[in-house]
Structure 1
Amino acid sequence: MTSATATRPPKTTSERIRIALRLGAKQIGMDEDAYRQFLARHGARPGRDGDHPSTTTMTEAQLAAALDELRDKGFAPVKPYRPRSRAQAIRTGAASGAQIELIGQIWRAMHEAGVVRDGSTSALRAWCKTTSRRHSPDKKGYDAPELMPAEVAQQVIEALKRWARRTGVQWQQED
């Protein structure tokens, strides 16, 4: 991927497919040599450096065929996270921004009090996933507070409040 595609959103279909190919190869565990051989099988020729096959030398049809093969091998593209608006949250029953913020506030207060060792967002997400398992339909939990339904977010808030009370942590809801 060039620095131009890293700093701005892709504009063309070919650019989007190139990015998806790179992500797909990484997702299914292809190393660099296997990736280059894979591209060569789909018609890639050496690029500007002349060293190895490059997606920039492929037509859109060749890129699409390569992407189809990656999908057959197990690549599943993931949509990027886009925050919900308040109206969408209400309409879909998703956790509100206030609930998500409250989860973060209680977590930070517990971290500042020394109850939670790791106050990072990734630690909060891991805790939320574990805590929300019993409330999710597939029993796998929700990866982030933003992805929880409102009822599950409320259960997570109550669990955090109980934990804070048990450990004597005082927190105040910020406005």
Structure 2
Amino acid sequence: MQITGYGSHGVAAAVALVNGVTGEGGDDSEDALRTLLRECGFFWSQFEPRHAEAFREWGRTLRPFFEATELEDAVSLLNELLLQVPMHPHLADHDDPAGLHIHYAPPSADLTHRFRATTLMNLSELVCKYGLSRTGVCAAEGCDRVYADTSRAGRRRFCSEACANRTNVAAFRARRRDAPEGRS
């Protein structure tokens, strides 16, 4: 199964949720959670205030996955979660450009259950394909946000272009400052 395309929406949703719930400056308000669901292709209109705490808890639960530096630790966490989140695969073709595809919970399941099942399976697929080389905590100094790279190149190490640019500019300035006089 390809992680890019339809399958990557669960990975992006997991990253957005973890950053919203646990990242410095994150927003885990009901409106922010509803927006996250809409932007990541979930049935956001089904979100109700009673769902908010379950989403927040799932964000806190997933953070250790992104912090894992050893594959064994990440796999152990995912396997534990796979035992806790029942899966009921369901084939769907709801006018999606991807065509027929698999959902990990039926449409009748609660929104939080569908979200947990999808994010968990998509993260598991990412690890099966790439190990931990495409997930982590932002490499920018002082940033605690997480990232997951589903691109072809797989070289991402920052949560955003802003953090990458800030880090690169700081490194450039440090090199210029440390260069012998007359060279720049």
Q: Which has the larger radius of gyration?
A: 1
**Structure that is richer in helix per residue:** 1
Give the TM interval when normalised to the shorter protein: under 0.3
Q: Which has the higher contact order (CA 8 A, sep 6+)?
A: 2
Decide which structure has greater strand share: 2
TM-score (norm. length: structure 2): 0.23
